């Protein structure tokens, strides 16, 4: 490096002698010497020569560049453009005044000078470090090829690499959800060509004033390094035509192979920058369960954790992007490093922490701790609900290994309808399913979804399902009779609007990759067209005598009961599990108020109140030997 510093010192000394000279004859001599002399010495690589040759700088632009460097090193304040014109146009025999002046203006502004006529700081860093310094900023980074850079999308990378082998400027627009690996794919393609890639984060280019300068500086780096150019988070300027025009006008002059990354399609047909270029819009493929398993193993890389969880099940339950897997893995490893060990339940808890979403007021989290033991129904029916959970855990076998997914474009999620009288366990079953899968349960607030304004309901439904995809949660549409009742004949615009809203909701449910659970008290009122979009329809019956006895005992399991409790008697009342829950809570508070164990009196009075609450007034004889307690 010392030898390189001597070369720079010699070059800058000659530049300083030139700009401070008053003798016109001597200026001519110094100028010719500066343009002709080889000062590389014995260096294999000399950044100044590389830049001059690679940028194809004209002689006047080369002098302008050296003056701008002199300003930075020696604290001079020359105007590089004016000084270059003065020295070169008046004293060199090599120039044609008009042509050289135009070259200077065009090359300097494009290749190395900023708006204030100072040298681009990244070009300056490249020259001062002889091309070895890592160049980056808050807005852009440079990724250099490294050994053994392998990704889960090797086939896609090779497929896209073929596109860049054409001898034309190439634009590739890659579309996918955030965190799916668009940048990683772009890096891999640049790696395949053994070239660096400059990645600009458009989200961080917040200043309108500096936007163009950031694009210019980063494009210069791509040009200088003979690498690829990549613009990430293009959604932030997708509706800003002026910014896109600025961006394209710069990269069209400086870059050859360019990526644009976004979540949505970019409608750029109205721009005239692509007439002589190769243009490709590419939608990234979904990663297979095997790909996701490999990412989990690579990120966690811990035998103890692998013993606790099944990566295949985790990949099926949580539809995570590679970026989300990275975040979740860091949380799991951090917890284990602090506590030395970690259980499966804690792993699931850490995974759920990374879900970032905004349901506004459209849905609310339901905290539930119910287990299969709390669901008192016959074993055959319970097995059906257990099978619903298994379908989610084993989806990769059916859709990937058996390739059924290639024949089914939508409807891969789970739509479940629970019907039955109030209090028969529909909502409890939804909570148990979410707990079994380790997912959060969100109850949809239909009063917030449905709007009287045209188009608002559809918009709210779209927001709900977009957030649900990100949240990896179970959506519960509770008591949906009013919303999903049979669609009316179109007699008015209101009828037409209501039918459109229901159709839109059914379509979003069908396309949703997650789990939707709907409950209804009156299945006969549900539109028949709705059932083809549902994977499972399950009918909850009111509990029989034996089931009611199990529910009573289960609810009172931890409560202080007196020995006189007659479970056979209280189980004879034909009520639902929800009614039993209310009675148990009421009788417990009666006992707590009297500071005693729970007595038959507390339960009998609570039964009477619950029946009256349902609109039925029991007669004393129905309480038999316990009527005296009323």
3-state secondary structure 324-393: HHHHHHHHHHHHHHHHCCCCHHHHHHHHHCCCCCCCCCCEEEECCCCCHHHCCCCHHHHHHHHHHHHHHH
Boundary of a domain, candidates 307, 329, 352: 352
Residues 595 and 610 in one domain: yes
Q: Please state the domain count of the chain.
A: 5
- Residue pair 202/210 in contact (Cβ under 8 Å)? The answer is no
Q: Which of 99-103, 297-301, 459-463, 506-510 has the lowest mean pLDDT?
A: 99-103
Residue 272 has pLDDT above 80, yes or no: no
The mean pLDDT of 453-461, rounded to a whole number, is: 79
Average pLDDT, the chain: 83
Look at residue 575 and tell me if it is in a domain: yes
* Cα–Cα nearest to 239, from 262, 255, 223, 219: 262
131 — pLDDT class (breaks 50, 70, 90): confident
Domain of 564 in residue numbering reads as 545-629
| Phi, psi angle pair for 58, to nearest 5° | -70, 165
Residue 54 has pLDDT above 90, yes or no: no
Element (H, E) at 540: strand 536-540
d(CA 89, CA 112): 20
Strands 197-201 and 228-232: parallel
For position 69, what pLDDT does the model report? 92
Boundary of a domain, candidates 128, 150, 169: 128
Higher pLDDT, 600 or 369: 600
Domain harbouring 428, CATH code: 3.40.50.300
* Percent of the chain with pLDDT strictly greater than 90: 21
Residues 382 and 519 in one domain: yes
For position 496, what pLDDT does the model report? 42
Enter the DSSP assignment of 228: E
Residues 194 and 87 in one domain: no
- Residue pair 414/388 in contact (Cβ under 8 Å)? The answer is yes
H helices present in 198-343, as ranges: 208-224, 241-254, 289-300, 303-308, 311-317, 322-339
Residue 222 has pLDDT above 80, yes or no: yes
Residues 86 and 158 in one domain: no
97 — pLDDT class (breaks 50, 70, 90): low
For position 199, what pLDDT does the model report? 95
The mean pLDDT of 29-38, rounded to a whole number, is: 77
Look at residue 133 and tell me if it is in a domain: no
Residue 490 has pLDDT above 60, yes or no: no
- Residue pair 417/476 in contact (Cβ under 8 Å)? The answer is no
Look at residue 357 and tell me if it is in a domain: no
Element (H, E) at 580: helix 577-594
Q: Is 443 helix (H, G, I), strand (E, B) or coil?
A: strand
Look at residue 135 and tell me if it is in a domain: no
Residue 493 has pLDDT above 50, yes or no: no
Residues 401 and 472 in one domain: yes
Boundary of a domain, candidates 520, 540, 560: 540
Tens of pLDDT, residue by residue over 110-125, are 888 888 889 988 888 8
Tens of pLDDT, residue by residue over 361-392, are 888 888 888 888 888 888 888 888 888 888 88
Residue 129 has pLDDT above 60, yes or no: yes
Residue 492 has pLDDT above 60, yes or no: no
Residues 24 and 118 in one domain: yes
Residues 535 and 553 in one domain: no
Residues 429 and 469 in one domain: yes
Residue 200 has pLDDT above 90, yes or no: yes
CA distances to 52, 242, 260, 381 from 229, rounded to whole Å, are 21, 20, 9, 58
d(CA 530, CA 504): 12
Strands 197-201 and 140-143: antiparallel
* Percent of the chain with pLDDT strictly greater than 70: 89
Look at residue 152 and tell me if it is in a domain: yes
173 — pLDDT class (breaks 50, 70, 90): very high
Residues 549 and 489 in one domain: no
Residues 277 and 299 in one domain: no
Look at residue 458 and tell me if it is in a domain: yes
568 — pLDDT class (breaks 50, 70, 90): very high
Residues 515 and 367 in one domain: yes
For position 261, what pLDDT does the model report? 94
For position 10, what pLDDT does the model report? 86
315: burial class by Cβ within 10 Å (0-12, 13-18, 19+)? buried
228 — pLDDT class (breaks 50, 70, 90): very high
The mean pLDDT of 353-366, rounded to a whole number, is: 78
For position 86, what pLDDT does the model report? 85
pTM of the predicted model over 0.75: no
Tens of pLDDT, residue by residue over 388-409, are 888 887 777 766 777 666 666 6
410 — pLDDT class (breaks 50, 70, 90): low
Look at residue 134 and tell me if it is in a domain: no
Look at residue 358 and tell me if it is in a domain: no
Residues 278 and 299 in one domain: no
Element (H, E) at 561: none
């Amino acid at each position: 490096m010392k030898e390189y510093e001597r070369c720079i010192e010699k070059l800058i000394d000659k530049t300083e002698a030139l700009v401070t000279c008053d003798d016109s004859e001597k200026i001519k001599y110094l100028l010719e010497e500066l343009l002709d002399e080889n000062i590389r010495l014995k260096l294999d690589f000399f950044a100044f020569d590389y830049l001059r040759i690679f940028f194809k700088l004209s002689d006047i632009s080369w002098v302008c560049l050296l003056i701008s460097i002199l300003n930075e090193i020696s604290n001079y304040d020359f105007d590089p453009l004016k000084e270059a014109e003065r020295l070169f146009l008046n004293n060199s025999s090599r120039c044609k005044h008009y042509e050289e002046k135009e070259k200077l203006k065009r090359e300097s502004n494009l290749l190395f000078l900023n708006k204030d006529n100072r040298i681009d700081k990244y070009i300056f860093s490249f020259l001062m470090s002889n091309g070895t310094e890592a160049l980056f900023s808050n807005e852009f980074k440079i990724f250099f090829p490294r050994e053994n850079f392998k990704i889960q999308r090797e086939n896609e990378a090779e497929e896209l690499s073929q596109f860049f082998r054409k001898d034309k400027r190439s634009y590739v627009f890659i579309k996918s959800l955030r965190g799916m690996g668009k940048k990683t794919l772009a890096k891999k393609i640049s790696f395949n060509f053994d070239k660096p890639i400059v990645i600009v984060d458009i989200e961080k280019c917040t200043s309108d004033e500096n936007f163009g300068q950031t694009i210019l500086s980063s494009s210069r780096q791509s040009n200088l390094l003979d690498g690829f150019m990549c613009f990430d988070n293009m959604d932030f300027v997708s509706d800003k035509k002026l910014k896109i025009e600025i961006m394209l006008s710069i990269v069209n002059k400086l870059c050859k192979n360019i990526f644009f990354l976004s979540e949505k399609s970019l409608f750029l047909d109205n721009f005239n920058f692509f007439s002589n270029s190769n243009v490709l819009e590419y939608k990234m493929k979904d990663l297979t369960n095997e790909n996701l398993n490999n990412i989990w193993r690579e990120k966690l890389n811990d035998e103890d954790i692998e013993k606790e969880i099944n990566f295949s099940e985790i990949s099926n339950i949580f539809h995570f992007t590679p970026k989300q897997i990275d975040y979740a893995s860091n949380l799991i490893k951090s917890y284990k490093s602090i506590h030395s060990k970690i259980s499966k339940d804690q792993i699931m808890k850490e995974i759920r922490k990374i879900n970032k979403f905004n349901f506004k007021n459209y849905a609310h989290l339901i905290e539930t701790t119910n287990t299969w033991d709390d669901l008192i129904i016959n074993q055959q029916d319970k097995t059906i609900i257990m099978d619903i959970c298994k379908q989610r855990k084993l989806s990769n076998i059916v859709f990937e290994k058996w390739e059924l997914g290639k024949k089914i474009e939508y409807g891969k999620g789970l739509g479940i309808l629970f019907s039955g009288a109030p209090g028969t366990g529909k909502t409890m079953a939804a909570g148990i399913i979410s707990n079994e899968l380790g997912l959060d349960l969100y109850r949809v607030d239909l009063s917030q979804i449905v709007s009287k304004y045209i188009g608002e309901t559809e918009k709210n439904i779209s927001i709900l399902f977009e957030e649900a995809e990100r949240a990896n949660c179970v959506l519960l549409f509770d008591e949906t009779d009013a919303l999903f009742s049979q669609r009316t004949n179109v007699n008015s615009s209101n009828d037409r609007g209501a039918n459109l809203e229901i159709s839109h909701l059914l379509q979003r449910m069908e396309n949703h990759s997650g789990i939707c659970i709907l409950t209804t008290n009156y299945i006969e009122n549900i539109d028949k067209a709705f059932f083809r979009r549902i994977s499972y329809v399950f009918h909850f019956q009111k509990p029989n005598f034996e089931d009611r006895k199990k529910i009573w005992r289960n609810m009172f399991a931890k409560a202080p009961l007196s020995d006189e409790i007659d479970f056979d008697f209280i189980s004879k009342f034909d009520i639902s599990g929800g009614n039993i829950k209310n009675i148990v809570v009421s009788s417990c508070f009666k006992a707590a108020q009297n500071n005693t164990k729970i007595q038959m009196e507390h339960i009998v009075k609570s039964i009477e109140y619950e029946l009256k609450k349902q609109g039925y007034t029991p007669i004393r004889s129905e309480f038999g030997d316990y009527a005296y307690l009323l």
